[in-house]
């Protein structure tokens, strides 16, 4: 049996328009709670063996409804935490040049670059890839759900999917809250679906 992993970003936070790195352990908004419930219903049909998340509150609050809906255990992996963003913490997504400049440098191959106090692409990859590899071996031949963070999901996808690299950062676009990517490994990983939102009447229109 192939190994199947459903990788997704946590649901919307209570302050969704500012940067929340590893420095900010914020919870979900009311809409985020509804998103978590919607994606739980979607993933329950996949019958995973377990649900794994980072230890950050927004990931845990997304993962627990999924684990309950699936009737499986929830495990914490603290090294799946969001990127450390340093001075960007609490800053709005718009009207700053730090993040666009960082992404531009990564896309040019400067994957070791990071502003003071923040993690580089290489830092994130070196932190999360061993966790991914260990979980893939632990749950080999089974189905697993992993709830992480937008940047973590993107770094993992660009690191493990064949013919993808950091040069594809801009092309992939942002990872949506509860956007599900399905990866299947036979001889190598293949990306079966990418960043897919649950199709739930009255909910998806909000997203």
pTM equals 0.95
User: pLDDT per residue over 92-103, tens digit each?
Assistant: 988 789 999 999
Give me the active site residues, please: 10, 82
Burial-class residue 49 by CB neighbours within 10 Å (0-12, 13-18, 19+): middle
The pLDDT, as a whole number, for residue 206 is 53
Q: Tell me how far apart the alpha carbons of residues 15 and 108 are, in angstroms, rounded to a whole number.
A: 31
Q: Tell me how far apart the alpha carbons of residues 147 and 76 are, in angstroms, rounded to a whole number.
A: 10
Domains and CATH numbers, the chain: 3-206 (3.40.50.1240)
The pLDDT, as a whole number, for residue 108 is 94
Q: Please identify every stretch of the chain with a pLDDT value under 70, giving residue numbers as ranges.
A: 200-207
Between the alpha carbon of residue 110 and those of residues 87, 122, 159, 206, the distances in Å are: 20, 9, 15, 36
User: pLDDT per residue over 146-171, tens digit each?
Assistant: 999 999 999 999 999 999 999 999 99
- Alpha helices for the chain (secondary structure H): 30-44, 57-70, 98-107, 121-138, 150-160, 169-172
């Amino acid at each position: 049996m192939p190994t199947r992993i459903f990788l997704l970003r946590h649901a919307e936070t209570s302050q969704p328009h500012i940067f929340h790195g590893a420095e900010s352990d914020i919870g979900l908004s009311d809409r985020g709670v509804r998103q978590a419930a919607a994606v739980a219903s979607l993933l329950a049909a996949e019958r995973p063996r377990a649900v794994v998340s980072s230890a950050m509150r927004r990931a845990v609050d997304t993962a627990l409804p999924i684990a309950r809906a699936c009737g499986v255990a929830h495990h914490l992996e603290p090294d799946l935490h969001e990127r450390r963003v340093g001075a960007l913490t609490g800053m709005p997504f718009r009207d700053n040049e730090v993040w666009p400049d960082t992404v531009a440098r990564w896309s040019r191959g400067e994957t070791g670059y990071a502003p003071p106090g923040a993690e580089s692409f290489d830092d994130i990859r070196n932190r999360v890839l061993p966790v991914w590899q260990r979980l893939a071996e632990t749950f080999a031949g089974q189905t697993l759900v992993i709830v992480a963070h937008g940047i973590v999901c993107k770094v993992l996808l660009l690191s493990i999917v064949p013919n993808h690299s950091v040069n594809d950062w801009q092309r992939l676009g942002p990872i949506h809250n509860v956007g599900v990517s399905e990866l299947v490994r036979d001889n190598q990983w293949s990306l079966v679906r990418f960043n897919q939102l649950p199709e739930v009447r009255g909910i998806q229109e909000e997203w």
